Structure 1
């Protein structure tokens, strides 16, 4: 079974492409995470977890869900992490998680996809984004073949900077940067409530027709990137930046 979490569509694309190749279901974890549903899941096929990279590790909301959810049946588990640049030393933390859950860790595949973290960076224009996605196909197909044949993903060489990024930097990044205080909606807001619907932590509500953010944010960028009016900003950094939502759908290819 393929389980995925995705804010702006990159990991959803990766999960569905792999699912189509190996003829397995791709299940969205959005509602389970939002409702804190930790009920047991069963699969006779290997588990495949497809997620974005947040500060060189898997999102903490996915980590929490995995820690609290019993996965029964097949004991093999693969991880696929989409990223704008690198996943650092994420694999070491995933292997530790798998050992704690008595699952057989089969590796973590790094898949470079278009940047979507516009709280700090810039997303590419659509033509460039499509080219990056096209190039990702080779890695995704390689991952699918290894899963299909029951072989582990290759283990990448890990440099000191990878260990620092996934360790010290991740530990500092979350409490310092991952909050919703800088999000706001300008006067172009149409009060559609899309931001409320796409927040995986149920952290947004409408007040007098405009979104108000709570304290529970994971910086998935779903609200700012999926706003149909592009009315949401993140401080001054996001002004004028391209909003990114994955333009590809593997189910139509």
Structure 2
């Protein structure tokens, strides 16, 4: 069965999950959500998936908007895999509620534990701890791929606590995506390379006199912060000297492809040929 997986990623966790699923399912196309224009989206596949991270126990704003434009009425199997560093099953319920308005539910819904990468809250894992998290995530994704191939129904699991916390914290994110980037600042370690502008999936950074300027359309994916080669980019007062994180299978070329669309992401084999 032909599959299309729509994905959004900031540091590679969700890309890695989407790519592994696509490889396991076969006859699969990866489509970066950030590359899609506005308006109604009709998938050219019978099996459709969404893979993205969890932000403040909910969906990234760009994914919430995308899901509301996605016409899933003609799909035979609709699934979602969300990657998270802590809690976040509540985001699956948020996504399912969007599709309920179309008269259907997610046929498969999973949350996969991945390395936490929101540096303002905590330092990303390293070493053996990181490897253990990635190994377990890979095993979980392989199991999910088998369930999807068999067409089994897996509804979003109960999430009373994370749903309660989402109601408390998520509005602070979703209502302020136009001002969240005001907390970014740059230290004297900046080498004027422009990597931050090149990797931003939504084109929210422009270079002015060699320095990044944020344009107030931020998703808070933290890609600019994690990709900065000198760790010059900070957010607020708690990110300096806290380390950075990128999924080991992810690099700047794949991050930049998020804005290029299916021509760059048109198969798992094509993606694997990238750097």
Instruction: Please report the TM-score for the alignment, with normalisation by the length of structure 2.
Output: 0.82
Task: Give the stretch that moved more between structures: 168-177 or 242-251.
Answer: 168-177
Contact preservation (8 Å) 1:40, 1:72: no
Partner of 1:56: 57
TM-score normalised per structure 1: 0.89
Structure 2: give runs of 5+ residues left out of the alignment: 251-267
Distance 1:75 1:192 in 2: 46
Question: Once the 2 structures are TM-superposed, how far is the Cα of residue 226 of structure 1 from its aligned partner?
Answer: 0.9
Describe the shift of the 1:98–1:141 C-alpha distance in structure 2 as closer, same or farther (beyond 3 A).
same
Compute the RMSD of aligned alpha carbons.
2.3
Q: Name the CA distance, whole Å, in 2 between partners of 1:69 and 1:158.
A: 25
Aligned to 1:15: 18
The CA deviation at 1:173 is 4.2
For structure 1, the 5+ residue unaligned runs are none
Structure 1 equivalent of residue 47 of structure 2:
46
The residue correspondences of 1:184-195 to structure 2 (distance < 5 A) are: 184-195=185-196
Alignment of 1:29 onto 2:33 = yes
1:121-140 → structure 2 map (5 Å cutoff):
121-140=122-141
After superposition, the C-alpha distances for 1:183-223 in whole angstroms (9 at most, x for unaligned) are: 11222212222211222232211111000112221110100
Give the number of aligned pairs: 248
Superimposed CA distance per residue, residues 69-100 of structure 1 (whole angstroms, 9 cap, x where no aligned partner): 43564243111000001214223222211122
* Closer/same/farther in 2, CA of residues 67 and 134 from structure 1, 3 Å limit: same
Q: Alpha carbons of 1:205 and 1:125: their partners in 2 closer, same or farther (altered >3 Å)?
A: same
Q: Deviations over 1:127-155 (max 9, x none)?
A: 43222111112211121111111112254
Q: CA deviation at 1:243?
A: 0.9
**Hey, what does 2:164 align to over in structure 1?**
164
Deviations 1:27-84 (A, max 9, x none): 222322xxx4445332333111000001111212111022124356424311100000
> What is the rounded CA distance, in whole Å, between the counterparts of 2:248 and 2:76 in structure 1?
34
Structure 2 SS opposite 1:172: helix
Distance change >3 Å, CA 114–CA 198, structure 1 → 2: same
Q: How does 1:209-228 map to 2 (within 5 A)?
A: 209-228=210-229
Is contact 1:67–1:101 with CA below 8 Å preserved after alignment?
Answer: no
SS at match of 1:79: strand
